[in-house]
Structure 1
Amino acid sequence: MKRIGFVLAATLALAACGKQEDAGPVLATEGVTDAMIAAGNGEEWLTYGGDYDERRFSPLDQINADNVGELGLAWSADLDTARGQEATPLMHDGTLYITTAWSMVKAYDAQTGQVKWEYDPEVPRSKLVEVCCDAVNRGVALYGDKVYVATLDGRLVALDQETGDVVWDKVTIPEGSKMAITGAPRIVKGMVVIGSAGAEYFTRGYIAAFDAQTGNERWRFYTVPGNPADGFENEAMERAAETWSGEWWKLGGGGTVWDAITYDPATDLIYFGTANAEPWNPAYRNTDGAGDSLYTASIVAVKPDTGEYVWHFQETPEDRWDFDSNQQITVTDLNIDGEIRHVVMHAPKNGFFYVLDAETGEFISGKPFVDGINWASGLDPVTGKPFVNPEAEYERTGKPFVGVPGAVGAHSWSPMSYSPTTGLVYIPTNNTPQYYAHDPDWEPGETGFQLGIDVSGGAFPADKAVREEIKSTLNGALVAFDPIAGEVRWKVPQSSPTNGGTLATAGNLVFQGTSTGAFKAYTADTGDELWSFATQTGVLAAPMTYSIDGEQYIAVLAGWGGVWDVSAGGLGGGITPNVSRLLVFKLGAKGELPPLKPTPALVLDPPAPAGTPEQIALGAKFYANSCSVCHGVSAVAGALNPDLRHSSTLGKRDLWQQVVHDGLLAENGMVAWNEEFSREEIEAIRLYVLNRANEDKALEAGGT
């Protein structure tokens, strides 16, 4: 009793004096520790990018350029979510951990493929309308004895590594917001760090850290300023407010942190990338004049213990093209002009490869890693600020602009890798021009994208020759980039964009999956193709590698989907089927995939066209700006979402209204659009799709 009384009295005394201090997060001493993540042990893969530096490079070389031709399928596991698969598996202590679409988690025996446990966070399917680019998830984090997954509906969940049981479950996004989470969490000094997606909606971006043991929030750093009348959270927000104008906070601001997060122990800084400003069109967020809209389309550095701002570098000031800077941030040392510099390397959507000083954010270099960039003529060699093409400022010219790169980005989320052996960065690149035009009639809405632009002029015409010509310009490449020289060393052209992320190894290899259904290995120094495996579906995810009992394995998730399928659909490169699997390879294995089941061809047989030219034109605009992001450009869908040209509701006006206006299929993801469109406008959309179906029926019958 005396001991208890003493402790209680001491506790009360400290509290009364205000001297009780937070001891901070408890670091893991067993299981996966900070030291293990920092070491980047080649036998295991413990964090999303392979190590704190996010290099995606493995020192394993049992599989190498001399014997990779002997690589075969060791085992595979079918997944139960037929959406895009974007996760990088993690491996610890003989267990392989993955996430699938809809934020599900699965644990497998890494040698045999036997399922150990599964977890389903039961994300409501109606959440899909608040996610720009499919119900994807990029992976888990491991720390101590727990597995962490961030869910599409904005939760952070801690699971027991051995059983998959829920330890804690915390909502991280603001209540009622249209934010989502698709990225993989990172572990930093006993904390789980994560942001959110949603810069196509009215959201205010942030990055936050949560205690790994309890899930309690430690700090939150906002990326755009809020309402000045409410006061600013810190000096960084006060300075950022000077770069906005009008009443930007009413539209959120954007700047979400939906992917890139890197912790650097050498500088003790967290670097993260931020998304576009919202709305895309600056005319609606900087209504009193121009402004850079900090800290959107930027790399920002903060202190990990407190979230305090340290530095930023804005790659695309006043972004109006959806040039997110959320792509992977890699840390390394480079010999620049005879001096070893500790740097961060970044290949964002805008097409320029940036090298910055890791401690200060000082601009070192920025060179194009793709051809054809037309939104800017280059970067200022001192400041790194872009020389923007005046024609690209579509809201000022009042004229449409076809931008290169487009909103899909010269490099999107698909992770790049860096080999210290070759000194090259291996980047999955895209060539997907984008049509931008100011929409003078735009008004803020409640459902769907809120961009302030009109993209209907970029629809594909009902002309076979023109469609084929446009499709031929939409492609990608695997690019090996020299960050010191600022030059492309080699390039492998690819027939379609949005190919998979890359893995570099000490075996002089680079692995990458393709959107057209192959998993390949190339020589890291020259880009020669050495090996290929038919995956039966497109590969979006990045591979990883691990070793057990002296045997090296390569693992990758396969499963087509993502932004290109849902938005560009069948017209942007052809329909790739979704066959979602985890594939694991090793030398000498002879496994085979089951035969691919043929997909029955759908024959267009719509009701007769109807509607006035005015109705169809109005429907075309509404469809392009709100419906095409799920159901495909020009109403031609991809593999995942329904093709409305074939819909049984197309000739049934009342049933169409029940689905689109009233939300009859909300539980399947098709929520009600009655706050965005009137019944007359929804009817115009139906008439447009009906017209498109009849146009394409004529094309299929041999028309031009």
Structure 2
Amino acid sequence: MTLSKTLCKTSLCLAVMALTGAAYAATQAAAPAYPTVTNARLDNATSDNGWLMYRRDYKSNGYAPFKEINTGNVSGLKQVWDYTSTYKQGHEAPPIVNGDYMFVTTPKDELLAFQATTGKLLWKYQHDLSQVGLKTVCCDVVNRGVALHGDEVYMATLDNYVVALDAKTGKVEWKKQIIAPDIGYAMTLAPLVVKDKVVVGLSGGEYGARGRIVALNAKTGKVVWTSYTIPAPNQPGGDTWPKGAYKTGGGGAWLTGTYDQETNTLFWGVGNPGPWLATLRPGLNLYTDSVIAMDPATGKIKWHYQYTPHDTWDYDGTNETVLTDISYQGKSYKALVSASRNGWFYAIDRTDGKLIYAKPFVTATSVNGIKDGQMTTDEAMRPAIGKQVFTCPSFLGGKNWWPISVDPETHMAYVPAMHTCMTISGTTVSYKAGLPFLGETFNVTADPKFKGQWGDVIAINLDTGEPAWHHPSALPWNDGMLSTAGGLVFSGSADGYLYAFDAKTGKVLWKSPQMTSGVIGVPSTWKVDGKQYVSLWAGWGGATPIWGGDMAKDPAVKRIPLGGHLYVFSL
């Protein structure tokens, strides 16, 4: 090779490098600025223009103080951009927005970053699940979203990793596996960042996994503490289990918790005990079907309240806990409210765990009352080997995982509810890692009081616990709720519409054009440059079509199309 040819090729190489560098610089210049998510911003997420965490702020009320879209102009909402995913499973995550960045996850742990105002795809991360069987993931291979802190975005995965990525580029900063997959454990929840810690919970109650909540250092991924939801014999509550049963006791912590800044308390819901059949594990079985209050620095449990003692109906207590102030029977309370799977709406004093009130919001026959501030159950409604019972609600619950919203202006909670019952009977079962650990057979049926009506949106007056309005639905209503200072409540239907309700009356003020699939994705709203947007995934899936019994066999439910489609609306 001659020197001139060498120089020519080198010059060409330099020119190409210069062009590549210019293109990279142009790309970086075109990308929106990324505002760092400090602890102070998380503490004040209520007033932020973005949607910085799973339920917007630490109170978990799914409420935004935005009025740009309101009862007077909501009829003018139009789609401004959309995105179609490649997955046919359930799309359950809310879009998380910081500045002009949107982060949203799909089934099977794909994380997408968009420019929030335009829909431009900035980067994509696909978590490698090629070596994972996913056979012990309950209720669809879903992901419920991300957490933000600093310049990182955090995702929990189906094979039990927590992954930290650079929010601007998608580069993996660190990843930490909590426990091996395919033995009963999985993670589907959105993490919660509190005081520089990334907090996650594991699922697996249907496989005899022992539930736990884990906090990791947000910068390094190092595990700071682990709090087991099923106590060992030498721990408080350990005597509520038969000998050795705590090791396979269930108690999944598979939904995102809530943090009370005033008392520095972390609240987390705990799922069903294992096996389902209660006669195999005498006792109260703490802390299953409970909300637990923890010290976020150590994970130590401060107090608990058990929604369903000695559960045998799979009435998970994981449903989100919302922090709000209420006035009940002339007395003011700092409350924690939750619409439970067992069909009861709870208000609990979040300072000490004492019950303020509990009232059924759907037909509830198994959990039947209150005595000395604790829930009671009907012994006749307990299945056994050779005994079948008919009870309400079904194990899918009066409300499943999809979150309620609480509006501090109307003092109402908006509940996506289902009217179902079930037949359930006991069977023999023994524990084997990685196999279902139930001991019961079951079938979901219609509630005889609500024939032809699987679903409902119910507004509950927080100061009385009584319904304020209903929006009945022939199809199940499996979507989360979003309320705003514009006097609106948003939620998506199983037949593929986004609804805007009048928050005070329940009147439908707007309905989107029909989307390409039914909706179980949690809606969120945010502002950029003073303009308000509303977004959500359409993408039917989750528990209802898998476990829904007669409801899943309903021809109208069977016709709901699949496929993920992200929609963004604005005026």
Same fold, TM exceeding 0.5? Answer: yes
Of residues 63, 82, 95, the one that matches 1:57 is 63
Mapped pair 1:34 → 2:39: yes
2: distance between equivalents of 1:364 and 1:554?
34
2: distance between equivalents of 1:92 and 1:485?
36
2: distance between equivalents of 1:540 and 1:419?
21
Residue 357 of structure 1: CA displacement?
A: 1.0
1: distance between equivalents of 2:138 and 2:452?
24
Mapped pair 1:305 → 2:271: no
Residue 515 of structure 1: CA displacement?
A: 1.1
Of residues 252, 268, 272, the one that matches 1:256 is 252
2: distance between equivalents of 1:315 and 1:430?
18
Corresponding position of 1:602: none
Q: Is contact 2:111–2:124 with CA below 8 Å preserved after alignment?
A: yes
Residue 442 of structure 1: CA displacement?
A: 2.9
Q: Is contact 2:420–2:447 with CA below 8 Å preserved after alignment?
A: no
Identify if the C-alpha distance between structure 1 residues 469 and 363 changes in structure 2 by more than 3 Å, giving closer, same or farther. closer
Matches within 5 A, 1:162-173: 162-173=168-179
Q: Is contact 1:127–1:153 with CA below 8 Å preserved after alignment?
A: no
Corresponding position of 2:24: none
Mapped pair 1:481 → 2:460: yes
Residue 174 of structure 1: CA displacement?
A: 5.1
Corresponding position of 1:344: 336
Residue 177 of structure 1: CA displacement?
A: 3.2
Mapped pair 1:438 → 2:420: no
SS at match of 2:193: strand
1: distance between equivalents of 2:149 and 2:491?
28
Mapped pair 1:564 → 2:544: yes
Identity rate, percent: 35
Q: Is contact 1:334–1:342 with CA below 8 Å preserved after alignment?
A: yes
1: distance between equivalents of 2:325 and 2:416?
22
2: distance between equivalents of 1:410 and 1:31?
39
1: distance between equivalents of 2:132 and 2:545?
19
Deviation string, structure 1 residues 267-303 (Cα, Å, up to 9, x no partner) = 100000000000000122x2xxx30000000000010
Mapped pair 1:577 → 2:556: no
Q: Is contact 2:38–2:149 with CA below 8 Å preserved after alignment?
A: yes
1: distance between equivalents of 2:126 and 2:560?
26
Identify if the C-alpha distance between structure 1 residues 157 and 125 changes in structure 2 by more than 3 Å, giving closer, same or farther. same
Q: Which has the higher strand share?
A: 2
SS at match of 1:97: strand
Corresponding position of 2:489: 510
Corresponding position of 2:143: 137
Corresponding position of 2:378: 389
Of residues 389, 407, 421, the one that matches 2:395 is 407
Residue 469 of structure 1: CA displacement?
A: 9.4
2: distance between equivalents of 1:459 and 1:499?
15
Corresponding position of 1:12: none
1: distance between equivalents of 2:441 and 2:520?
29
Of residues 346, 352, 363, the one that matches 1:354 is 346
Matches within 5 A, 1:680-691: none
Corresponding position of 2:6: none
Identify if the C-alpha distance between structure 1 residues 449 and 496 changes in structure 2 by more than 3 Å, giving closer, same or farther. farther
SS at match of 2:276: coil
1: distance between equivalents of 2:559 and 2:251?
32
Deviation string, structure 1 residues 305-355 (Cα, Å, up to 9, x no partner) = 111111001110101100111111100111234433211111110111111
Counterpart of 2:407 in structure 1: which amino acid? S
Q: Is contact 1:62–1:507 with CA below 8 Å preserved after alignment?
A: yes
2: distance between equivalents of 1:576 and 1:390?
38
Matches within 5 A, 1:175-214: 177-214=183-220
2: distance between equivalents of 1:518 and 1:225?
44
Counterpart of 2:437 in structure 1: which amino acid? Q
Q: Is contact 2:202–2:212 with CA below 8 Å preserved after alignment?
A: yes
2: distance between equivalents of 1:540 and 1:125?
28
Mapped pair 1:247 → 2:244: yes
Q: Is contact 1:281–1:320 with CA below 8 Å preserved after alignment?
A: yes
Q: Which has the higher helix share?
A: 1
Deviation string, structure 1 residues 566-604 (Cα, Å, up to 9, x no partner) = 2237504333111211100001xxxxxxxxxxxxxxxxx
Corresponding position of 1:452: 439
2: distance between equivalents of 1:506 and 1:459?
37
Residue 446 of structure 1: CA displacement?
A: 4.7
2: distance between equivalents of 1:480 and 1:345?
13
1: distance between equivalents of 2:450 and 2:361?
22
Instruction: List gaps (5 residues or longer) in structure 2.
Output: 1-34
Deviation string, structure 1 residues 490-543 (Cα, Å, up to 9, x no partner) = 010111224210100011100000112111100000000011111121100121
SS at match of 1:342: strand
TM-score (norm 1): 0.73
TM-score (norm 2): 0.89
Q: Report the RMSD for the aligned CA atoms in angstroms.
A: 2.1
SS at match of 1:239: coil
Identify if the C-alpha distance between structure 1 residues 468 and 93 changes in structure 2 by more than 3 Å, giving closer, same or farther. closer
1: distance between equivalents of 2:484 and 2:202?
31
Larger gyration radius, structure 1 or structure 2: 1
Corresponding position of 1:423: 411
